[in-house]
Every structure is written in structure tokens, then in C-alpha cells.
Structure 1
Amino acid sequence: MKRILSSVAIVLGVAMLVLAFALPTYVVPKGKVLPLDLVSTTGTPKTPGNLLDSGALASGKPVGDNKDKPECKGDNPQIKCFINKGLEMQSQRFTTAQEPSDKKVVTLEAGQTLFRTDKEEPKNLISASIDHVTLDRKTQMPVPDPTSSIELNAPALDAAAKEGKDEEVEASVAPFTRPGITYQFPMGTDRKSYDYFDMQILKTQPIDYVGEEEQDGEKVYRFEQTVPPTELYPALRERLEADGELSKGDKGTLAALRLKFPAKVWGLKPEEIKNKGSEGEKKADEKKDGENGEGEDKKEDLGPEVEMSRYYTVHRVLRVLPETGVLVNGSEEVFQYYAQDDEDAQRIFDNKEEEINNPTRTAVYFPGAWDDDSRAAQMKKASEGKEKLKLMGTILPWILGVVGLILLVIGWIAHRSARLASK
């Protein structure tokens, strides 16, 4: 009986030692994969920002106290008259795993909305998007196949809005191959820069590691990125045309990215007008000369038609629990505005504080940061994943190794004493 027990102890000891070595070298690496039941919700608190009211612009009705300003009276109020300053807004993102997902890949669907808090649904919507991206569960990076797609939604800026109708426009980006991270860093995040895919400019820009911080007692990595002023229209149009002709929704979405108004409506002085001598300006001058003819009343001189394009810039800060790659905190200072060209856009960006304090070209300015609930929920999920990896990769192997070694020694001593007793 003693010999049997000693043999059992030796076998168990060897098995535990084998398992102790196998857990960190084989089992844990196999377990470092994205779950198939991934779900997360993040949002910002009510945050003051600036917003060009598309409905007010289309109807020609200045917002708030702007209606009392001299430049906002009459038949041709300036663009600045339709910009809400200090308007409270909120952003929300809901991310969940969807099909197709299997043992190798997981598809994430991320729905994001930006809305104003002074109106009820659906009049409160500023913008919305639904993003689909398929990730390799092992590397946590997008698969090299055209599986990513984006759906965009925003209030109409056309005749429907002028008539006071609460219509929205929808556009869909054809499936495309997508590089870079967005919602998840690799498990075992390194202290280095990563390519980050920006939903607005539809391409990647490096997001840089800047240091370590502590959040809720955990060590986290801080990453920062500033996207320089980038024109939105060209990249979006290229994506929308990838699957053929532009739909009505596509055209409606693009319409808000390039606006044309007389120079005076933009608030431009003659010396600030670019591309002078253009065909549009010549026609405007001809029209002006005709209107100033003998016997006719002189109309208000609004200057030439000037087309401006929307530019986008953002300062993004992300904090990541490196062991799991889970985002545990984030903030984005989003700034979109209209400019005549790249040089004009850079000038406005260089004087951003002036534009924020006295908006004249702003489409939206929103300095959003995650609220307390979002940070706590993401940290809880990240910490649980970290503890699971620590248990499987460190604590359990040590316990198994020590117990296995003890059993092996006890078994060997018992087996040796049993042999001596039998002699």
C-alpha cells in the first residue's frame, strides 16, 4: 500500500511540474485572445462646446443672442450668427462583438453618437456613425481583408432643412481593408508608437507613447496624438465612390463638407478673399455692375461667392492597461471648421483659441473626455483580464510547481523507505 501511495505521489508531482511549466509557456499565450462576448459602453459628461446649427443655417434664423448683433440682422446674416457658443453636448460609444466571429477572428461593431443636450430626440443629433472592423483575436489587429465598413448619419443641410423638416442623411462607405488600431491595443502593449485609424480622415496616423501613469492603483500607458488640419471632403468622397456612383445620401453627407456663400456672409474682408479673379468672382462682379445700372436701386454688395471646405483636427489622449490592451480612459478635443484652403486652415488652427472664444468658421468644437462611469467600467474589465492572466501565468504555476515538487520528494522518500522495508 505504501509503495502504491508513493507511486501516486510521484506521478501527481511530475504532472503538476509539467503543468506548471506548460501554463506560462503554452496555455497563457493561447489564452491571450480577444473574447467573443466583448461589450463596452463609454461616454462623456455634458461638455460645453461650439456648434454650427445646420437647421438654423438652412432656414436663415440666427441662434440665441446672435440675432441681436448687427451682422446677424437683415436678409444675409453672417455664418457666425448660426454658431452656438458654450452649447452642452455629449458623446457616447457602444461597442459589441458581432458576426462574423469565430476561433480566429472577432468582428466589432461600434456605434458612436454626438448630440446636444438642449433638445429631445431626434432633433438633438449632431452626428452618428456605425463602424465595423474584423480583428485577429490573437494579434488584436485588423485582418488584411476588405471587411471594414462605415455608416454615417447627420442632419440634412438642404431644402428639407430649409422647410423645417427634421430629416437626416445617411451614407455608407464600401468595405475596405483597414490598418491600425481603434478600439483595442495589443495585449502586452509596448512603449512605442502605434498606427491609429481615425474615423474622420479615414486613414492612420501614429499615436505616440508618452509615459506611464497610475489609474485606480494600476499602471497604465499614456498615448497622445494630434492630427493636423485635414480637409475631410476628398478622402470621404473617394471612399463613397469606391462602390460606384454617389447615392442621394452620399451627396447629402458631402454637401455639409463644402459650403459656398458670398464673401460678406463668411465675414471676409476683400483682402482675405483667396483665388481672386476666378470665374465665380467675375460673374459676381458682372452681376453687381448690372444691378448698379441707371434707374435701379443699389442692392447690398455681398462680394463674390466663396467656397470653403471643412477641416478637421483632434488632440487625442488614450490610456491603456498594457497587459490586456484595454482602453481605460480617453479624451478627444475635436475641432472642425471651414477654410478656403490649407494655408487658411493652418492659420485658423494656429489661432485656435481665438476661434474657440469668438467662433466665425467653426462647424463643431467638442473637448470630450470619458466620464467616471466609463473609466471605472473599463478599468474593472481590464483589471479582471489582467488578474486572470496573472493567475494562469504566475500564481498557479508557482503553486503547482511547489506542490508538485513536494509530492515528488515525498513520493521518492516513501518509495525508497518502502523498498528498504521490503529487504
Structure 2
Amino acid sequence: MPQTRKTRTTRTTRSVRPRSRRSVVVAFLVAALLFMAGSFIAPLTIQLLKPLPTDYDATFRTAETSALVAGDTVTPANADRPECATPDLAPHSCFVDEVAAVSTQHTTTHPTDTRTEITAETTRELLLDGEPTARLDDEVRLARSSGYPVSDPVSRLVIDAPGLPGELAPEPFIRTGLQYFFPFTLERRSYDYFDTTAQLTVPLDYVGEGEHNGHEAYELHHTVTAVPLAEAVARAYLHPTELTAEPPPSGGALFGLLSDEQRAMTRAGHTSGPASRFFSDEELARFGFTGGEIVAVSPFYSVERTLWVEPRTGTILDVAENVHVQLATDQRQAEELAFDTSPDRVLFAAESRWDGDTTAQQRAAADEVVPWLRVLQIFAVLMKAASFLVAAWAVVTIVRHRRERP
């Protein structure tokens, strides 16, 4: 009898252990599959969501705001001022009017011969008292994965604005910096931004995060002051068309590289007259002018720009801009007077922000993607947690069987 019992026990042990080993092997395989699902399915799905669409079509509009705008004739509001009676001698402020301003932007994207790139076409218009006044047609080829321009001379601009003797339409050029789209998964850092008025790529700095327009948002901001518009026009003609090209010079050397027709475009807005036409008594003393001294002034551009961007999708939720174009005798003076709203020298001044329909549109665009990203994040965490639990069960099983060995 004792021998019989021993034989039965041995058979039972041999019949159980192989099944346990198989269960442990299966558990480790399941744990590995769960870990791989959590590690790879979410990132791969995000990669499918990441590229910019080839059929994007959206319109953006600012809320109506009050703008100061200089014209060619004495405005009705200033007609009764005695000093405005003789236009040739009248102060600059006689030609400045306060009007209602709205800016619109229509952006579309189209496929190219390369799957990783799109062409983005944008038309921007400035409406003053409901009438189209300035227009920008912009075409740029972008990398779908990042929103940055490609390094090819395929960017095009056509600008039609008051004061220009004709359309500003430079040859296709290489562009750098973001504009209409931001990368998926934003970082807390500065981003290069291409300003079409300054014709410069300038940093757009990260300044903080918080809730905006119903979403978490990164706030990006920059202030660009006293850009001579004559140099901006010159840069538009001299943007590089090859990666190895030397950057254009700065200052007066720019103009020596232009044709006569191009130089004529850079002189738009330049004027001269007695200093008293452009400066108050306090400013005359401040800058050392006499009232009758003849001064030459030219337009300078300044802007304060703030963007709120949903960081997981790169969706721009809102944009605010404070734009000033005003006359000054030189760069130093323009820096001192940047964002001065005095009508004595202003050519254009307005603060604008996207209207309610536009911010609702952008909030809805973020709403389409952000929930999926949350689901994918939760899925990845659950898969990895399940992988850990299954692997832990397999380890515990191995340890228990080792302890049960005779």
C-alpha cells in the first residue's frame, strides 16, 4: 500500500506541472502582447491623426473693432478744424479717420505630388467700413507632419495695399517659420513665425498655459517693433531662392540690390513737410525740431501678437493682434513711439481678435481630436497595467510551484 500511494502522488504531480508551465508561458505571451498593444497602438494611431489634411477649408474673421486710418483727403470729422482748411499745409491728423475694421482669412489645403506635403493657400482681406481695402494672397507648401514650410522656392505672395504703386508680387522664394498651422503635440518653447507684413521670421515665445476657449491652451506671444516697411518690401524681393544663398543685407545696402521699379515700391508712404505737421509741441522739443523745420518721415510697422494653441493637436484656438503703422524720421524715434495712438503720425492702428463664430469653429475642431487622444492615452495605460498584472501572476505562479517542490 505505501508503494501504491507514492506512485499515485508522482503521477498527479507530473500531470499538473506541465499544465502550470504552459499557463505560465501563455501568461508571459499575453503580457508581452498587452505591453506591445499599449506601447505601439496608441502612437501608431496618433501618427495617423498627425498629418495636416489635404482638404482643409476654413474661414476666420475678427470681431469688428475701431481703427485709425490715414487717407489722402481731409476727413469729414476734421473738416471744421481751422488748421485743416489748407490741405497742403494741414497737420497729418487732419487726414486720419476712425473707422470700423474687420479682417477675414480664408485658408485651404490641397495635395501635391508628394504625399508628405500639402499646398496651403490663404487669402486675407482688411475691410474698413465694410469695404475691402487691403488684400494678401499667400501660397506656401508645408510638411504635413509639422506645418513648417518645405525648403524649396515655392512660396508665393501677392500684396495689394493702399499706398503701394502696384501689387507687390515677388518671385517664388524659400520661406521659414510657421503661420497657419502648428505642430501636433506642442512644446513649451519658442516657435519661428513668419510675419507677412515685416517679411521676417521672428520667434513666437511660450509664456504660459491655462484654459482658453474650453480647452487647455499654450499662450504664445511676441512683440515686433519699428520694422521699416521700405526694408520689408525690399526683403520681399530678395528672399532666398536657394538653400545655399546668402541672406540679404540689412539697412540701406538692401536697396542697392533692387531694380528701379522695385525701389519705387519701397518708397510707398514716404513723405516730408514741416515738423509741426507730424509732431506736437512737446514732441518737437523732445526730438529737437523747430516747428518749421522740414523733416522726411517714412512708415514703420509694429505688432503685438498673441496666439492660444491647443497643445495636443496644434489647433489655434484664438488670435489677438495689436497692429500699428506710423510715420517716423528714423529707427530710434520709431522705437520710442511704437504703439503710440496719436493721430499726428498714424497710418493704421487697430487691436483685433477673432470673433465668436471663429473661436467656436476652432473649439469644435479641437473637440474632434482631443477626446480620441484621451481614449488612446487611457488605452495605453490600461494595456500596460494589464500586462503588469498578468506578468505578476505568472511570476507568483512560478514562485509558488518552486516552493511546493518536494
The corresponding residue for 2:351 is 367
- Structure 2: how far apart are the matches of 1:136 and 1:252? 36
Mapped to 2, the partners of 1:252 and 1:388 lie a distance apart of 54
Query: Does structure 2 conserve the Cα–Cα contact (< 8 Å) formed by 1:40 and 1:378?
Result: no
Write out aligned runs for 1:19-58 (5 A).
19=37, 21-53=39-71, 57=72
Matched positions, count: 346
Matched, 1:125 2:132: yes
| Maintained 8 Å contact 2:155/2:172 | yes
- The reply to whether residue 259 of structure 1 matches residue 271 of structure 2 is yes
Given the superposition, is the C-alpha separation of residues 271 and 394 from structure 1 closer, same or farther in structure 2, using an over 3 Å criterion? closer
Q: Contact conserved, 1:337 with 1:361, CA < 8 A, in 2?
A: yes
Whichever of the two has the greater Rg, that structure is 2
**Structure 1 residue 318 displacement after superposition:** 0.4
Deviation at 1:155, TM superposition (A): 3.4
Structure 2 counterpart of 1:177, from 174, 178, 182: 174
Partner of 1:326: 315
Task: Note if contact 1:179-1:197 (Cα within 8 Å) is conserved in structure 2.
Answer: yes
Aligned partners of 2:111 and 2:258: how far apart in 1? 28
Could you tell me which amino acid in structure 1 is paired with residue 92 of structure 2?
Answer: I
**TM-score, normalization by structure 2:** 0.74
Give the conservation status (yes or no) of the 8 Å contact 2:148–2:178: yes
For residues 401 and 84 of structure 1, the distance between their equivalents in structure 2, rounded to whole angstroms, comes to 65
Listed one character per residue, the Cα deviations across residues 262-284 of structure 1 (whole Å, up to 9, x for unaligned) are: 545445779679899xxxxxxxx
1:105-154 CA deviation, whole Å, 9 max, x = no partner?
1111111111112x5xxxx2332101112111112222122221211012
Counterpart residue number, 1:137: 144
Quick one: structure 1 residues 100 and 259, their matched pair in 2 at CA, closer, same or farther if it must change by over 3 Å? farther
Q: Percent same amino acid at aligned positions?
A: 27
- Gap runs ≥5 in structure 1: 1-9, 159-168, 277-301, 407-423
Query: Does the CA-based 8 Å contact 1:335-1:366 persist in structure 2?
Result: yes
Q: 1:259 Cα shift?
A: 2.5
Residues 1:213 and 2:220 are matched in the alignment: no
Q: Render the CA deviation track for 1:312-334: whole Å, top value 9, x for unaligned.
A: 11111100000111101010000
Shift in alpha-carbon separation, 1:95–1:245, aligned structure 2, 3 A:
same
State the shift of 1:64 in Å: 2.1
Distance change (3 Å), C-alpha of 1:14 and 1:191: closer
Q: CA deviation at 1:19?
A: 5.0
The CA distance in 2 between the partners of 1:132 and 1:214, in whole Å, is 32
Shift of 1:181: 1.1
| SS state at 2:176 partner | coil
Question: Match of 2:334, SS?
Answer: helix
Q: What's the C-alpha RMSD, in Å, of the aligned pairs?
A: 3.6
* Shift in CA distance, 38/348, structure 1 to aligned 2, threshold 3 Å: same
In the TM superposition, residue 239 of structure 1 has moved relative to its aligned partner by 2.4
Deviation at 1:102, TM superposition (A): 4.0
Q: Are the aligned partners of 2:234 and 2:258 in contact in 1 as well (CA < 8 Å)?
A: no
Are 2:328 and 1:343 equivalent residues in the alignment? no
Taking structure 1 as reference, are residues 241 and 196 closer, same or farther at Cα in structure 2, changes over 3 Å only? closer
Measure how far apart 1:387 and its partner are: 2.5
* TM-score of the two chains, using structure 1 as the length reference: 0.71
Q: For each residue in 1:331-363, what CA deviation from the matched residue of structure 2 results, as whole angstroms up to 9, or x when unmatched?
A: 0000110100012212222xx4xx42x411001
CA distance in 2, matches of 1:257, 1:401: 64
Match of 1:92 among 91, 95, 104: 104
The answer to whether the 8 A contact 1:16-1:400 is kept is: no
Structure with higher RCO (Cα < 8 A, 6+ apart): 1
List runs of 5+ in structure 2 lacking aligned partners: 1-26, 242-256, 390-406
Contact 1:154 1:253 in 2 (8 A): no
1:205 offset after TM fit, Å? 1.5
Compared CA separation, residues 113 and 333, structure 1 to 2 (3 A):
same
The separation in 1 between residues aligned to 2:172 and 2:137, in whole angstroms, is: 13
Partner residue in 1 for 2:128: 116
Q: In structure 2, how many angstroms separate the alpha carbons of the residues matched to 1:271 and 1:379?
A: 49
Going from structure 1 to structure 2, the CA distance change for 1:396 and 1:103 (only over 3 Å counts) comes to farther
- 1:81 is aligned, of 71, 94, 103, to 94
TM-aligned CA deviation for residue 240 of structure 1: 2.4
Distance (whole Å) between structure 2 residues aligned to residue 267 and residue 319 of structure 1: 37
